[in-house]
């Protein structure tokens, strides 16, 4: 088998390398700098309409013109590219606005987490009978069918009276009295 030796002049090789480096520097660097920037770990680098609404982001852009957006760094400031119905728009975002929006996400995500924890704590402390304390269908061994039926009937009656009292505009003691007396209201007769 014959081996083919091809020699490339060193001047072409050096010129090629220099050209490749310059090409990479001038054309690839802007593409690398266009990498999306993460506003906050909670929302990531692409922000959708729900996140925009939930975290009060980019208030200068109407919600009706925003499907999703991505931020890129543009020197000291940022560029927001917004997509809506297949079209794109770009908006300048200052470093101060970026910090403000990042702060919004931080504050509101903390607030939403606290609300979730409060709801979970309230559910655990609730005095309402838990589903595990009464099996579905009220199959309590010690209750007869008659007792179960009466309990269901009384529950419906109570809720209906409560609804009627609300519809009548009764409040406070009058409301409770109406519910306790089974819907009978006492009206004093004028003498």
pLDDT in tens, 95-136: 999 999 999 999 988 988 888 888 777 766 655 544 444 445
The CA distance from 80 to 97, in Å, is 11
Give residue 93's Cα distance to chain centre: 23
Number of alpha carbons in the 13 Å side-chain half-sphere of residue 114: 6
Q: Where do runs of H (alpha helix) occur along the chain?
A: 10-23, 29-33, 49-54, 95-125, 145-168, 172-180
The CA distance from 82 to 49, in Å, is 10
Q: Is the whole-model pTM more than 0.75? A: no
DSSP conformational letter for 59: T
What integer pLDDT is reported at residue 22 of this predicted model?
Answer: 57
Mean pLDDT, rounded, of the chain: 77
Per-residue pLDDT band at 7 (split at 50, 70, 90) = low
What values do phi and psi take at 17, rounded to 5? -65, -45
Each residue of 33-61: pLDDT tens digit? 578 999 999 998 899 999 998 889 998 99
Tell which residue, 66, 69, 67, 71, has the closest CA to residue 34: 71
What integer pLDDT is reported at residue 131 of this predicted model?
Answer: 43
The CA distance from 159 to 88, in Å, is 54
CB atoms within 10 A of CB 54: 16
Site of tokens 């999703």: 68
What integer pLDDT is reported at residue 18 of this predicted model?
Answer: 64
- pLDDT at position 11 over 80: no
Which tops the pLDDT comparison, 32 or 172? 172
Each residue of 15-26: pLDDT tens digit? 666 665 555 555
């Amino acid at each position: 088998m014959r081996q083919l030796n091809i020699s490339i002049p060193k001047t072409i090789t050096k010129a090629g390398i220099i050209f490749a480096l310059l090409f990479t520097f001038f054309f690839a660097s802007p593409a690398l700098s266009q990498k999306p920037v993460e506003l906050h770990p909670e929302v990531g680098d692409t922000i959708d309409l729900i996140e925009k609404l939930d975290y009060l982001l980019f208030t200068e852009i109407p919600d009706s013109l925003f499907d999703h957006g991505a931020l890129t760094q543009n020197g000291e400031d940022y560029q927001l590219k917004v997509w809506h119905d297949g079209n794109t728009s770009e908006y300048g975002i200052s470093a101060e606005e970026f910090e403000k929006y990042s702060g919004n996400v931080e504050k509101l995500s903390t607030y939403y987490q606290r609300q979730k924890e409060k709801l979970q704590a309230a559910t655990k402390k609730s005095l309402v009978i838990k589903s595990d304390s009464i099996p579905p269908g009220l199959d309590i061994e010690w209750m007869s069918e008659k007792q179960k039926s009466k309990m269901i009937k009384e529950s419906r009656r109570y809720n209906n009276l409560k609804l009627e009292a609300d519809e009548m505009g009764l409040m406070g003691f009058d409301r409770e009295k109406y519910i306790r007396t089974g819907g009978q209201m006492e009206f004093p007769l004028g003498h």
